Amino acid sequence: MKNQNKKNNSLEYRKQWANKKVLVTGADGFMGSHLTERLIELGADVSVFVRGTSINGTTQYTLKKIPPKVKNKIKNFICGDISCHDSIDLIRKNSPQIILHLAANAYVPFSFQHPVEVMNTNLIGTLNVLEASKQVPDIERIVCTSSSEIYGTAQYVPMDEGHPLNPSSPYAASKLAADRYSYSYWNTYGLPIAVIRPFNTYGPRHVYDVIPFFIKLALLGEPLTVHGTGEQSRDFTYVDDMVDAFLLMGIHPNAVGNVINYGSGKDYSIKKIAELIKEISNSPSQIVFGERRISEVERLFCNSSKAKELLGWEAKIDIEEGLKRNIAWCRQNGNLDNLI
């Protein structure tokens, strides 16, 4: 009965988004586009911060993931570079009640060659959001998006929020710095900040990372290249479950001042993911092995008991069902070149 009450409470909090003035940064990314779509379904007053420019008074931007039906219902488009100081004033003028900060340069291998650019987007961009939040009089919540990558390879499993923080890539280091700055702004300035640490998320509209790569190759009948032994493992969560996690972090009072992990509570080897995608898609693709990647995290396996205890959240969609949905979406949307 106790767990059932928590689930009911979490559903009630999701209903509180109606008419909330919300700003989503990184709204045209994989996770941000799904979150924006759900917020509009829930009746929120949504503005988005997307990368763009203003030329001769005309705002120019390109949307790749926000569906047209969603775009038409967005209240305001703020265009700029989240890492530039100008973004502080842009966010202040928007004056949101809730900021869901997802803007990031999130492809880990990109950080190997562009560590400064990644640091500017992920850390300085977050600092700009935090500084802007100090100037918004009616701010109720700032959700800052961290990453499971900040933990590095698991020293014990499942990995809770107290696990040592050992980022193994420039990307992970930039996210760790942003994570800790976010916590410091709650502690120092009393801002209503909640830090979400998602483990690997997958689903429609994702265009990088192992699952979309493997799905594209499987549907084309091309070899699935597993780097290293393939025994390295990840905790994969379907996007619909992670959207629910963001919604709770943005509205539930228990989230303020907390850092909370979100994951499925199961880990799967990369080799196993390749096998499942090959099987579910009925693909003739062969599974082959390549060189081990640099800065490879060997294991990520989430302990999301804090999310369940404080907010009543737990993942509902298992890996087989999630992959079926993801593969079906890719087939229906046709152009496989858009998947990478």
Cα–Cα distance for residue pair 222/250, rounded to 1 Å: 41
| Buried residues in 325-336 as b, exposed as e (16+ CB within 10 A) | bbbeebeeeeee
251, 14 Cβ separation under 8 angstroms = yes
- Taking the C-alpha atoms of residue 187 and residue 183, their distance in angstroms, rounded to an integer, is 6
The one catalytic residue in 61, 107, 151, 171 is 171
Closest CA to 29 of 112, 130, 104: 104
User: In the chain, what's the furthest Cα-to-Cα distance?
Assistant: 60
Q: Is 171 a catalytic residue?
A: yes
Alpha-carbon distance of 99 to 129, in angstroms, equals: 9
Helix then strand then coil, in percent of the chain rounded to 5, is: 45, 20, 35
**Interatomic CA distance for residues 90 and 96, integer angstroms:** 11
d(CA 170, CA 95): 32
Q: So which residues are the catalytic ones?
A: 171
